[in-house]
Amino acid sequence: MPDPMPPDPEALLAALLPPTGIPLDPAWRPAVAANLRVAGAIAAALQAFPLPDATEPAPVFEPGR
């Protein structure tokens, strides 16, 4: 199985920005893309690390509160 590749940040930005409704000033676009590039590299490294299926996510939720 090939390791996931870091995604193209420009392609991500073009695909994912419209549903958010955020009005993006073109001047901000390079910095947003740069942040997506960093995030994509991190995500690729995380997804390349094999976790057991039984390893559950660890956010916080306690029923009854």
Partner 1 sequence: MSVAELLDRDATGIAAAIAAGEASAAELAEAALARIAARNPVLNAFTDVTAARARARAVALDAARARGAALPPLAGAPVAAKNLFDIAGLATRAGSRINRDHPPATTDATAVARLEAAGGLLLGALNMGEYAYDFTGENAHDGASRNPHDTGRMTGGSSGGSGGAVAGGMAAVALGSDTNGSIRVPAAFCGTFGLKPTYGRLSRAGAFPFVASLDHVGPLARSVRDLAAVFDALAGPDAADPACTRRAAEPVGQGFEAGIAGLRIARLGGWFARHRMAESDAALDLACAALGVTAEAALPEAERARGAAFLITMAEAGELHLPRLRARAAEFDPAVRDRLIAGALLPAAWVQAAQRFRRWFAQQAEAVFRDHDVLLAPATPMAAPPLGTQSVTLDGVEMPLRPNIGLYTQPISFIGLPVVAVPVWPGTLPMGVQVIAAPWREDVALRVARALEARGVARAPVAPFGA
Query: From the CB of 5, what's the least distance to partner 1, in Å?
Result: 13
Q: What's the CA gap between 3 and 7, in Å, rounded?
A: 12
Q: Which is nearer to partner 1, 8 or 32 (CB)?
A: 32
Q: Where does 21-64 have alpha helices with state H? A: 29-47
Q: How far apart are CA 19 and CA 24, in angstroms?
A: 12
Q: Minimum distance between the CB of residue 54 and partner 1, rounded to whole angstroms?
A: 10
Q: Which residues bind partner 1 (CB under 8 A)?
A: 12-13, 16-17, 20-25, 28, 31-36, 38-39, 42-43, 45-47, 49, 51-52, 55-60, 62, 65
